[in-house]
Amino acid sequence: MAHHLASIFGTEQDRVNCSFYYKIGACRHGDRCSRKHIKPPFSQTILLPNVYHNPAHNPNAHFTDQELQDNFDAIYEDLYCELAKYGHLLELHVCDNVGDHLIGNVYARYEWEAEAQAAIDSLNNRWYAGRPLYAELSPVTDFREACCRQNENGECNRGGFCNFMHLRLASKPIISSLRAGQRLERRLNPANKAGDGAGGWQPPPDKEKNGVEDDLVDPGERRRRSASPSSRDRDRYSGGRDRGGRGERDADRYERRR
């Protein structure tokens, strides 16, 4: 009996524990779900709910596909560089769903459970894009099972309201550059401890300039940014939207984490 219960734990055959929660880390029923959502005491994966706000979801906004991609690439890079400070980041995924339980969710999987816990301990005292972060350990370990296969094939008819993850993907050159930078950092600083030097994100300013918050990072302003790493870190994590040029970012992306 015990072996049978263990074998079906968190699956659709389990009538006690919610299979959606264990597979995706979120359930559309939330606290009203008739099955249990038992949060893991330890995990390699962390969840940051409702972090990414897609400008395309604003009905009054009009952006080109390239502008939206540039905006997401900038956000993905920010998140990757900051989360990699806590340990060896194996995966970083951002949901583009619009359902309440998945909208803007960010999932990060580390090599070690201690690294994930260090991230949780720090991030719950942090802010991003003018909003406080809430971080928790997630039971998700296999993102292939969590993602919507129909969406990957362009066949999902539920759109953003699908209960499986619809991931927003960063540009391949950005991902390759970030992973290469992390490998180089680990070779140069093998003794770094999880969570060291993870300061930077600050509470939001009282008001954005002119009382207006832009939904999109302006690539032109990003190119005009100063090459100073300390200046970029200070502006980025206190609400600044400008970013350095691609070449400058590659040169000091990991230098600024020391």
The predicted structure's pLDDT at residue 46: 98
Give pLDDT tens digits for 143-185.
999 999 999 888 899 988 999 999 999 999 999 999 999 999 8
Q: For the domain with range 42-204+214-257, which CATH number is right: 3.90.1150.10, 3.30.70.330, 3.40.50.620, 3.40.50.300?
A: 3.30.70.330
At which residue do the structure tokens 């499986």 appear? Answer: 164
Give CA–CA dist 182/175, Å, rounded.
Answer: 11
Half-sphere exposure of 91 (CA within 13 A, CB side): 15
Strand partners, 89: 110
Q: Are 75 and 104 in contact (CB under 8 A)?
A: no
pLDDT tens profile 65-93? 999 999 999 999 999 999 999 999 999 99
Residue 188: predicted pLDDT: 87
CB-based burial of residue 69 (10 Å sphere; 0-12 exposed, 13-18 middle, 19+ buried)?
A: middle
**Where do the domains of the chain lie?**
1-38, 42-204+214-257
Mapping DSSP onto H, E and C, the string for 130-188 reads CEECCCEEECCCCHHHHECHHHHCCCCCCHHHCCCECEECCCHHHHHHHHHHHHHHHHH
Give residue 69's pLDDT. 96
- In this structure, what token pair is assigned to residue 128? 């991003």
Q: What is the mean pLDDT of the chain?
A: 77
